[in-house]
Every structure is written in structure tokens, then in C-alpha cells.
Copies of this chain bind each other. A is one copy, B any other.
Amino acid sequence: MVVKTALRFGLIIIALLILFQLSNASLFIPDIPADAVIGLTAVVLIALGIYLGGNIKKPKVIEVKPTLVKDEEKIKSLRISARELEVLQLISDGLSNQEIGEKLFISESTIKTHVSNLFVKLDVKRRTQAVIRAKEWRIIV
């Protein structure tokens, strides 16, 4: 890395020296218009600046969250129903069976049915595992 930087700067210095020489020489050669040489030099120098700027400036670092998209195919393949998915999401939100029932206006015993069916489909034994599995398989966000 250090060698690369040194090499780069060496090349830049050589390029600059050549330009200066050319610039000086042109003043005494009438065949080439001085303006053209100056213009060319300007363009080369600006290009050099742009090149240097790209390397000197530290890159912008932005944090990106992994794309949180549900895998609808997986949900279908596991034959998880819409209601079951709702319950699964609420389990993941930390709600108890009773709270889920209240939120969905259905009895706790129905929630238990959904939960049991979910565990079979997700191949887990506990709700904490269900949450992990469901996120692994991108069934819930």
C-alpha cells in the first residue's frame, strides 16, 4: 500500500515536470500556440486534481440494514395460514396467548390451537424457538 502510494506520487511529479518543461519550451516555439499548450496543461492539471481527489478523500461509509422482506413462498410451502401468521407475529412481539387473543378478539384457546399448529409447521417446541425459526426462514420481519 505504501509502495503503491509512493509510486503514484512519483508518477505525478514526473508528469508535472514534463508539463513544466513543455510549457517553457512552447514559449520559444512559434509553431505551437502558447494558448493551446496552456489550455492543454490546464485540462491535464484539472484531470490530475480529479484523480487525486478521488484517492485522497475518505470514502463515505453508510450503514445498511439487511433487507427485511417476508418470504411468501416459504409461508405457502409450509401451509401457514393468514391467521397463524398473525399469531406468529404477535408471539414475536412478546405477547402472551391471552394478550394475543384480546388483540384479535378471539379466545385464548383458539390461540393455543394456532400456536400448537405453528409449532408443528415450524418444527419447534417453544415459542422462543418459533421466533428464531420464523426469522431464520424470513416468515416474519
Contacts and interface: CB of A to CB of B under 8 A. Distances in A.
B20 A35 contact: yes
Given A27-B27, A46-B48, A53-B50, A63 B60 contact: no
Interface stretch (A76-84, A109-117, A126-134): A126-134
Chain A interface, DSSP helix/strand/loop, else mixed: helix
Interface residues of A, number: 46
A49 B20 CA distance: 18
Interface string A48-83: 111111101101111111110000000000000000
Given A45-B45, A45-B46, A94-B132, 7 more contacts: A19-B42, A47-B49, A49-B49, A49-B50, A59-B61, A60-B62, A95-B128
